[in-house]
Structure 1
């Protein structure tokens, strides 16, 4: 075999069949796969991304909303400010004609929803991954995979030339969407239901600009949503209860206009459609996100209704949870590799189930059509408008800021919770997190030394507590008083150091 070295340091053959090795093979180059690849490459690992599609980011994307928690995670990678400049922000969500959720109450640097097309998110993530040294193979499909105790062997094929390739990876992550070949190769089921059929999508220009940046409502038998691309075009999503047809049924602009008029009271002069399609929305979740050395993330692991705009956000947060754990194991920086990798399933599977419930509830409220259902929706919206703690909880759920992970019994109340962007002597916490390491936050006069794999930082204020913050911005351990044994145990558990 004649071996050569790629830009990421993986060894490959130059024979008729391409054979190479890599630390992590990522299958799928959507937002989830791109963030994961960028994190792993930034950690100094060899990572290869394979994508069945040819290279080129498409406008035909469904995701538009980037929520506050996702923006915080992008901030920890130095990407949030650039992305915010590309989109438009919404600080109030108005749903069902009556419900108003005030996002300015979010305790975050990003107290809003950013409206920007998915391809903008993909662009900044792809550029980061490339800059960090990730290797991309577009036009390459996964045929099969086999794993053993040392790694995973995947058979690939070039979709244009049919040239085969074999890759040996220490770990493989499937981020290849709802029709995941990785999930299929593992033999994992994807149980669930189709919650909405015959949804129409269109990219159009409008003769009249809607009053709000995000326009959404349901009325009669129709539901519609309008959001701007920022380039003069708007994405319209619509559904009509009386027109339930297969995804392959023809759709034209007149159908989209009719749905919008019934749901929103106007079609805003829709014209010049550059794309129209019909699809259905599923609610599904894989029972396991890990099978040995193979992981699932994003839509390959869970798929939700579009209500709440949580699908892409949940996938990105899957990647942020998994990436540092894989990096720690591959760099031998954890005491118990299996326990750390198992924590991905333990932490993220319940979040996926929660998003299924919340997005499903929203879409069922939007689809309410009989008098009893509409009365229930009216009561629900009045309750949220009147009871601030309840609306704050709803906002936290949708934004992702309310997501927390299980902590051991007897742990500090902050353990497992999201760490806000703390004001430190060294700068903002999420700026410090850009190094991809744990951050140990102590009093300014504290004498606790940061171990290998952790950054020492200090409260800018006189606060006396100590926090160990994970690379994904969640609190691994905390104490309100000096507790060297507790800190040593936390460091040993999470970093393999004490």
Structure 2
């Protein structure tokens, strides 16, 4: 049997499911397979950062997550039985200023349900046998273990989301998975606890450092009585020591031994000295083996790697599933552009996936690896460093904010990329290329033909999340004038020639007399009003850095700001524009990887 689709996705864990969901939602046919019988039954990964939750919100999934999840509000630190740190997470500048906790099994089921709403499905108990790249297609041989039937699947691209033992990666001899394993194991236990200190640790992470080793208690959604809580216990068994051999041992699927409840009770009793809790029941017990490895590139022509297939690292900091979600989003919109024929240079576009993701992944791996070494090393020197560093992180506000921002992934920024403009002299105070646009206060839609529409910039972008958004910002101080009408019209005409873009004109409330008098018969350009341009730090103009320029400008007619936002909300290009030449430079950048209509 032969089947033809746009993309084959191998692996239906949360990262593979999310990638397939994005592609199906964008109108592409996807063959999604996994050799498992169905979604995982264990909690496994559960930590969802604010950045990941914003991504899920951008694609219509956050409300499903929040219906079942809990928010983690802060942390406690114990050292040898004494509390030395007690903090609540400070408010941070994002839509969801919290760590969100929901087990992988629940996350997978939510995404599967949303895929099925889009008429997609998962081919369970189906295994990739082999694949080869033939010209402009990938041909995969798969086996359906429910009936023993062999199938041939032909696609434009194949995505390996099949974990650290990825067949997609292993079947290409040019791919390596360099790194090391950590010899010590981690004990993972999902437990229901009761006792006098339950209220103290409810919805908070609790970190214990003891001469016998470390232990972390992390809240999970609880479905029992109020006098109990459900949480994940993570404890190291053995000190930090690495093995540079090639054997990949990462994960929970092949533990070296069975974790017993008696062992968990022993660890909890010895490591959590000072905390008055007892185990009511256990939900899941296993050992976790940690590797720190990364593939030498995430693309081979029409084959791509995401999630653990591309990189794996210590669970310290809880970043694994989160950077996998970011892999999936980064890749999906680029594949979609290539599949729709809307890229002027598909090779440059698809090459940018590895170029952009690799530095971010390495940064996370470095942070997680450093945390592991600090937490697990048992030398006297490391013990002193650990005590000083963690005490400072809990008790010094500046260090605590930096730690929280890293943990919550608040300030990730793209480095160099072939689809990001080079820094230019016309940027001035504008948001730089590679920076992430944060959400704004509400804006007003200038079209009031049917209703008054009030939305934040994220809400505006959510309905157009497969498009590049191109902002023409001509907000002003009250005494300043808009640019000449022919320059704004040239922007509207020019951006309308890009099928993959949506143009938006932003004005101040004081710049017009009628709400709909500036609406042109062009369904590719919208007009919105930034109501608090100068007075609010979270107005769109302020978020873009344009308010600072306007405040410093002495010109009666300041330059407009042209900002190009990619579908993942990173800035691709920003410039002040006061001439047609400068406007044409922005369109030339867009045309370097997006196709212009003929």
TM-score w.r.t. the length of structure 2 is 0.75
SS in 2 for 1:397: helix
Map Cα deviations across residues 59-112 of structure 1 (whole Å, 9 max, x no partner). 313211100110110110122133123111124344565566764342101111
Task: Name the residue aligned to 1:431.
Answer: 459
> Within 5 A, what are the aligned runs for 1:44-83?
44-55=27-38, 57-83=39-65
Q: 1:35 to 1:400 in 2, by over 3 A?
A: same
Please show how residues 129-208 of structure 1 align to structure 2 within 5 Å.
129-187=115-173, 188-195=175-182, 197-208=184-195
Which is greater in Rg?
2
Does residue 299 of structure 2 align to residue 290 of structure 1? yes
Paired position in structure 2 for 1:211: 200
Between 1:224-233 and 1:176-185, the stretch displaced more is 224-233
| Map of 1:258 onto structure 2 | 266
Whether contact under 8 Å (2:236, 2:376) holds in the other structure is no
Alpha-carbon separation, structure 1, partners of 2:263 and 2:395:
37
CA deviations on 1:9-59 (whole Å, 9 max, x unpaired) are: xxxxxxxxx21010000000111111111111111111110111112x333
List runs of 5+ in structure 2 lacking aligned partners: 225-229, 242-253, 446-454, 475-481, 483-487, 507-529, 534-540, 542-559
Report which stretch shifted further, 217-226 or 144-153.
217-226
Change (3 A) 1:357 1:96: farther
Report the Cα distance in structure 1 between the residues aligned to 2:75 and 2:189, rounded to whole angstroms.
22
CA deviation string 1:281-324 (max 9, x = no partner): 11111111001100000010011111100000000000010000
Deviates more, 1:408-417 or 1:153-162: 408-417
Q: Please say if 1:303 is aligned against 2:303.
A: no
- Asked if 2 retains the 8 angstrom alpha-carbon contact of 1:432 and 1:439, the reply is no
Q: 1:140 to 1:35 in 2, by over 3 A?
A: same
Contact 2:259-2:285 within 8 A present in 1 as well: yes
The alignment partner of 1:377 has SS state of helix
Matching residue of 1:117:
103
**Corresponding residue number in structure 2 for 1:86:** 68
Among residues 197, 204, 211, which one is paired with 1:220 in the alignment?
211
Retained in 1: the 8 A contact 2:348–2:593? no
CA distance in 1, matches of 2:388, 2:561: 43
* Range with greater deviation from structure 2 (421-430 or 117-126): 421-430
Deviations 1:231-270 (CA, angstroms, capped at 9, x unpaired): 24432222232799x9232321111111122222247211
The corresponding residue for 1:442 is 472
Could you tell me which runs of 5 or more consecutive residues in structure 1 were left unpaired when the two chains were aligned. 1-17
Q: In 2, are the aligned partners of 1:75 and 1:81 still within 8 Å (CA)? A: yes
Tell me whether 1:365 sits opposite 2:383 in the alignment. Answer: no
Q: Deviations over 1:187-235 (max 9, x none)?
A: 3221111225322222222122262222232311222222223224432
Corresponding residue for 2:14? Answer: 31
If the length of structure 1 is used for normalisation, what is the TM-score? Answer: 0.89
The reply to whether residue 417 of structure 1 matches residue 416 of structure 2 is no
CA offsets per residue over residues 298-356 of structure 1, 9 Å max, x none? 01001111110000000000001000000001101111100000000000011111111
Figure out how many residues of one structure are paired with residues of the other and give that number: 479
